[in-house]
Structure 1
């Protein structure tokens, strides 16, 4: 395969997945990792991507860049729906408990499917969220108790943040939390670009007895600006692809269950 063909493959997969891995690309294309690194260097020189540890991300991506909730809903939407469907398996027959929903498009997909899950399992839930879109979705369900946390709403994510949100979360001890993330890596854990959003995510993680993190494959190896949880602070990672060897090893060492959609 010529360099131009390889590089076209790389840019196509980058557009689809939001990140590419040197090791995965080398396996896919049957070439050495050194060849892939040279291709990535060439594409970075053209301004088509940005090199990061182990691979590359789109040129516009950075540790503090953050798409809006509307943009997120259009990216990897099939994967997010599949992840949400798998994550709802944590709600078993006759489940009783309090559940916190974080902000984010994948968490929103969980909220969209929970009514059907309640009907199938006979679950009874008291639900808390700080995310306006999630609150709207859940408000339409007749069979749950819903509490919406206040605070200053960030336009980018439509989620409440700030002291009042953190103060409310400090009084809670939910049985379960569904948490979204912008990145998950072996070295840095779970991360997100905004410090205020990260503070709320940390509060949710630390309040819940069981934490279910949701991340499609494009989040693997991504390290956003602010870490909000170490790997050993989550119980289950639900994703659409098996993590690469370093991340899989780190998750196993941290005692995290990996559920594939």
Structure 2
């Protein structure tokens, strides 16, 4: 495992557990305690964790670093699978329309759509469009724009304008961070602009997000809590309690 991969894995572990000791991390990753201390120093400089005596805890305010789609898809894979399956129950009736955001959770959702699905589907995610193209009952619309290498998502003014011309029954989105103060957020400004347009274009907005995203702030907010109708997740956490989500008018589906 390269240092960057180990540091990302350590960051995700600290985010999931809330804290981790140097000795635990050294054992988990089969490295020396000195290596772990160096990794934690790098992550602290990036404001991803906060060093404490003997280990590290979640930073109070985390700026989420952006990872490639393949790496994101491998993270929290079991939870994303359960979330995607539950989200299938939120599809509109046959003949309805959906807008599917680019991302790893929404990609799993597209993978699980039954072969007999009958929908008009719009997406700016290239891998998602490829999956939907195999479904004979889906009328597929791939939105235009410049494709980002990191996320394989079309972005830019052309994409935003295309979304703004739409009105769909349900939008399914992902998020890198969800918090009370910053709402739903993502690292890239161009992807945030597309997500913002998707939220406005849908009669019902559904966010698919595993619980490690709760309490995190990515760089750019694309929606307030009250802009979203449903959150499908594997658990709720102290960083974003269930009552806070419900008070914002959000239906929470826990799988």
* Common fold: TM-score over 0.5: yes
Alignment of 1:70-89 (within 5 A): 70-89=70-89
User: Which 5+ residue runs of structure 1 have no aligned equivalent?
Assistant: 1-11, 26-41
Are 1:56 and 2:64 an aligned pair?
Answer: no
Q: What is the CA-CA distance between 1:73 and the residue it aligns to?
A: 1.1
Are 1:231 and 2:225 an aligned pair?
Answer: yes
Alignment of 1:147-186 (within 5 A): 147-186=141-180
User: Which 5+ residue runs of structure 2 have no aligned equivalent?
Assistant: 1-8, 21-35, 52-56
Are 1:247 and 2:218 an aligned pair?
Answer: no
What is the root-mean-square deviation in Å for CA atoms of aligned residues? 2.7
Q: What is the CA-CA distance between 1:201 and the residue it aligns to?
A: 0.3
Does 248-257 or 75-84 show the bigger shift? 248-257
Q: What is the CA-CA distance between 1:63 and the residue it aligns to?
A: 2.0
Q: In the alignment, what sits opposite 1:7?
A: none
Q: What is the CA-CA distance between 1:187 and the residue it aligns to?
A: 1.8
Q: What is the CA-CA distance between 1:95 and the residue it aligns to?
A: 3.6
Q: In the alignment, what sits opposite 1:105?
A: 104
- Alpha-carbon separation, structure 2, partners of 1:15 and 1:218: 8
Residues 103-131 of structure 1 show CA distances to partners (whole Å, capped at 9, x for unaligned) of 10000000001125xx4xxx521000000
Equivalent position SS for 1:175: strand
- Mark the CA change 1:17 to 1:124 in structure 2 (over 3 Å): closer, same or farther: farther
Q: What is the CA-CA distance between 1:65 and the residue it aligns to?
A: 1.6
- Alpha-carbon separation, structure 2, partners of 1:17 and 1:238: 22
Q: What is the CA-CA distance between 1:70 and the residue it aligns to?
A: 1.0
Equivalent position SS for 2:131: helix
Equivalent position SS for 1:114: coil
Are 1:140 and 2:134 an aligned pair?
Answer: yes
- Mark the CA change 1:17 to 1:237 in structure 2 (over 3 Å): closer, same or farther: farther
* Ranges of 4+ aligned residues in structure 1 off by more than 3 Å: 12-22, 42-46
Q: TM-score, normalised by structure 2?
A: 0.79
- Mark the CA change 1:44 to 1:56 in structure 2 (over 3 Å): closer, same or farther: farther
Q: TM-score, normalised by structure 1?
A: 0.77
- Alpha-carbon separation, structure 2, partners of 1:88 and 1:259: 12
Are 1:21 and 2:18 an aligned pair?
Answer: yes
8 A contact 1:99–1:127 mirrored in 2: yes
